[in-house]
Amino acid sequence: MKMKKDEMRDVELIIGKILRVGVIVSAAVIVIGILLYFFNGGAGYPNGEWPRRFGVMFQGIAQGKSYAVIMLGIFLLILTPVLRVVVSIYAFAKEHDRLYVYITTAVLIILIFAMIFGYNG
Amino acid sequence: MNSSMILFIVIGLVAGTLGAVLGIGGGMIITPILTVMMGLDIKYAIGASIISVIATSSGATIAYLKDDMLNLRVAMFLEIATTVGAIMGALLVGAFSSTFLYVLFGFFLLYSTYNMIRKLMSKKGEAVYTGHDSTVDKLRLADSYYDKAEKKQVDYSMKNVPGGFIMMWAAGLASGLLGIGSGAFKVIAMDTIMKMPLKPSSATSNLMMGVTAAASATVYFFNGSIRPDIAGPLSIGVLVGATIGARLMQVLKPKLIRMIFVPVIFYMGMQMVLKGFGVLH
């Protein structure tokens, strides 16, 4: 029991650290975007428009458009749970917990399938 | 526009705190505020709400992982059920009458409210299940957590894993079909059906919600439902709120958390039933 508990603790600490980096980075990007909005005095796009495709988004970021930066931050935030699943697979593998490597890999595959399905649907 | 951004941060702060304490994501707080009070198109409200669910989940998870409140194995195992349910729900949209589904899920929430009140009234209080179960042993799901309110380590086990798995699948199905966050269903599956203590149930629900929401969030991102001027400031508020909520939850008495949870699911259940009968839109 003690063994199991310590193993789990390590797994959780690794996931926690990487997830924290992901969250801080995405939050920082969003905050930079909001600050740009205030200092640049606007969205950088006509009223009611914002980038929703990667090409337009990165172009907008290069031009320092605030809405493009905020959208990048939001997209990074959407990726944080996916990042968490990926790191979990690695962490379980490190602890030689094969059953949970399989279970977590299954979750990742379903998740990727859902994202592709959603993007095309 | 500038003042509304600050307002969104404040709304996010409140929703994130409550969402993290209860494990419900905060979408049910954000959607009505944005639509009813601010007159926003439901499309953008749902887009903003799904981002808030992810922000609550990721923000709260960091704190819960650090404090060992989560049950990672339970989360991973049950996530198979929720994600499969969510995809099936998305595929089946239109196959069922949404009226019927709203009424069904609404009544289920009302029934759960009744169950939770009974649990609150019971003299035994928050009894922790520690028995043995072959599925729980095989999947190594039993765990322990440190209760900061009661200042003790709580070892717990659970039972009826298949029942919880089916409930999780239904929760995923509901979120796919109706576009609702299903955190409340997740907490009920773990706490009521599997007999997992309320605190790890809520923390684990928080963790799982992010994964379920990430799949649908990409759809909303690319179809233009996510507005940067709303979802951006909202998510910053939620992230801060979730961090506060995750710390707050650990020092609260389980009984108090249940007392906050009961009116919330009662309200959600009523709202869904009324929506089903066409009284609410």
Stretch A71-98: mean pLDDT: 92
Stretch B135-162: mean pLDDT: 90
How far apart are the C-alpha atoms of A57 and A61, rounded to whole Å? 6
The predicted pLDDT at position B124 comes to 66
- Cβ-in-10-Å burial (0-12, 13-18, 19+) of A96 comes to exposed
Cα–Cα nearest to B206, from B92, B95, B53, B97: B53
Q: Which residue of A has its CA nearest to B70?
A: A12
How far apart are the C-alpha atoms of A114 and B168, rounded to whole Å? 17
Q: In chain B, what are the domain boundaries?
A: 3-277
Per-residue burial over A17-35, b = 16 or more CB atoms within 10 Å of its CB, e = otherwise: ebbbebbeebbebbbebbe
Say if residue A69's pLDDT is above 90.
Answer: yes
Provide the percentage of residues in chain A whose pLDDT is more than 70: 90
**H/E stretch holding B92:** helix B72-92
Asked if A30 lies within 8 A of B90 by C-beta distance, the reply is no
Say if residue A2's pLDDT is above 50.
Answer: no
- Cβ-in-10-Å burial (0-12, 13-18, 19+) of A38 comes to exposed
The predicted pLDDT at position B125 comes to 63
Task: Work out the minimum CA distance from A99 to partner chain B, whole angstroms.
Answer: 8
Asked if A12 lies within 8 A of B216 by C-beta distance, the reply is no
Proportion of chain A in helix, strand, coil states, percent, rounded to 5: 85, 0, 15
Say if residue A5's pLDDT is above 70.
Answer: no
Stretch B182-210: mean pLDDT: 88
- Half-sphere CA count of B80, side-chain side, radius 13 A: 15
Stretch B155-180: mean pLDDT: 87
**Cross-chain CB nearest to A111 (options B66, B143, B211):** B211
The residues that bridge with B154 in the sheet, in sequence order, are: B145
Question: Which amino acid, A14?
Answer: I
**Cross-chain CB nearest to B68 (options A12, A66, A85):** A12
Chain A partners within 8 Å of B213 (Cβ):
81
Stretch B189-216: mean pLDDT: 89
Most confident of A27-36, B49-58, B63-72, B120-129: A27-36
Contact between B81 and B208 under an 8 Å Cβ cutoff? The reply is no
Say if residue A3's pLDDT is above 60.
Answer: no
Least confident of A29-38, B47-56, B121-130: B121-130
Stretch A73-101: mean pLDDT: 92
Contact between A92 and A101 under an 8 Å Cβ cutoff? The reply is yes
Say if residue B123's pLDDT is above 70.
Answer: no
The predicted pLDDT at position A1 comes to 44
Task: Work out the minimum CA distance from B56 to partner chain A, whole angstroms.
Answer: 11
Provide the percentage of residues in chain A whose pLDDT is more than 90: 49
How far apart are the C-alpha atoms of A23 and B99, rounded to whole Å? 38
Q: Which residue of B has its CA nearest to A73?
A: B232
Stretch B63-90: mean pLDDT: 88
Cα–Cα nearest to B231, from B60, B58, B55, B26: B55
Structure tokens at B157: 């086990």
State the ipTM, two decimals.
0.89
Say what the pTM is.
Answer: 0.87
Mean pLDDT score across all residues of chain A: 87
Structure tokens at B218: 């990409």
The predicted pLDDT at position B221 comes to 87
User: What are B204-259's pLDDT values in tens digits?
Assistant: 998 898 888 887 788 888 888 899 999 999 999 999 999 999 899 889 988 888 88
Chain B partners within 8 Å of A104 (Cβ):
76
Cα–Cα nearest to B209, from B44, B53, B43: B53
Q: Angle, nearest 10°, between helix axes B254-276 and B198-223?
A: 40
Stretch A16-22: mean pLDDT: 90
Higher-pLDDT residue of B125, A114: A114
The predicted pLDDT at position B281 comes to 63
Least confident of A76-80, B59-63, B92-96, B141-145: B92-96
Q: Which residue of A has its CA nearest to B207?
A: A81
Structure tokens at A15: 């996931």
How far apart are the C-alpha atoms of B258 and B184, rounded to whole Å? 12
* DSSP per position, A79-98: HHHHHHHHHHHHHHHHTT-H
**Cross-chain CB nearest to A38 (options B2, B51, B79):** B2
**Cross-chain CB nearest to A52 (options B65, B215, B222):** B222
The predicted pLDDT at position B264 comes to 86
**H/E stretch holding B164:** helix B161-178
